Amino acid sequence: MGLSTTTAQRWVERWERQQQRYAIDREERFTVIADVVEHVTAGRPRPLVVDLGCGPGSLAVRLARRLPRARIVAVDMDPVLLELARAGGGTPGPTGSVRYVEAVIGARGWTASLGLDGPLDAAVSTTALHYLPDHRLQRVYEQLAGILRPGGVLVNADHLLPEDASDIAVHVGHRRARRQRAFAHEDWESWWAAAERDPELTDLFAERRRRHGSTGGGDSSQGDGSSSDSDSGNGGNNGLTLNRHAAMLRAAGFAQAGSVWQVGSSCVLVAVR
């Protein structure tokens, strides 16, 4: 028997609360991403968007609500989170669609597994790419440049420190999170531990262990995206600064790259193909 919609929605709602610990002004970040995608796809009848490291569909669903005619391909490697997304019933609108795909970002052939029928208008990600080592991230940036149309964008909301005064940026972000009572919510490890105890998720967690050799948990920098081994405590933050990301994107073939929004280390970086 498949996962019930009620159970899936309950765990997704709990995920939404948990994530507020890790993404400062999380809803504003999502809104900024949607602002960018809406702007660059204006006038296009059926924009094609990929959500990298989609987790349980938090960003994908919000984009589909904002852009009901968009075709959104949401990709992740985690069978638990993907099934929560599929079963949660979050795909909105009569003409909008979200298609969930299991793939490992940066692995051989991962872009082919997306089943795209043309160039992308946008690739988006939220707190998912920071675990990639720089050589692999460079390859991913090059691959994305190859499947985005001219004028298309990569929008990456992640933990990206400025080049200077980074310790002050972290402090400012931490203080803002405290004012918002973000740390009153359960943490990443607690969410995974509780989800694993749910009988309806037993088979999914068994499949997760079979594929990835571990269960939940991870470093405290994790956010909505979760397409890597960092979900299971094997990943981390690659430590690349905002300027370093921008330089890598330009080297990959993007014409422009820069921040359009930042609070503390929480940043929305946009790169234009």
Q: Please report, for the domain that includes residue 139, its CATH number.
A: 3.40.50.150
How many whole angstroms separate alpha carbon 169 and alpha carbon 125?
A: 22
Decide if 259 is inside a domain.
yes
In a domain, 71, yes or no: yes
In a domain, 242, yes or no: yes
User: How does pLDDT run across 176-219, given as a tens digit for each residue?
Assistant: 989 988 898 999 999 999 999 999 999 999 999 998 875 554 33
Is 222 part of a structural domain of the chain? no
In angstroms, rounded to a whole number, what is the distance separating the alpha carbons of residues 269 and 260?
6
Q: Is residue 205 part of a domain?
A: no
Asked whether residue 186 is domain-assigned, the answer is no
User: How crowded is residue 143: how many other Cβ atoms within 10 Å of its Cβ?
Assistant: 16
pLDDT for res 91: 52
Q: Is 123 inside a domain boundary?
A: yes
> Taking Cα atoms as reference points, which of 244, 203, 212 lies closest to residue 1?
203
Q: Structurally, how many domains does the chain consist of?
A: 1
The answer, yes or no, to whether residue 235 has pLDDT greater than 80, is no
Question: What pTM does this model have?
Answer: 0.90
Mean pLDDT of the chain: 89
pLDDT digits (tens, 9 = 90+) for 108-145: 999 999 999 999 999 999 999 998 999 999 999 999 99
Q: Which domain holds residue 150?
A: 5-164+236-272
Confidence grade of residue 226 (pLDDT, cut at 50, 70, 90): low
| Residue 220 covered by a domain | no
How high is the pLDDT of residue 238? 84
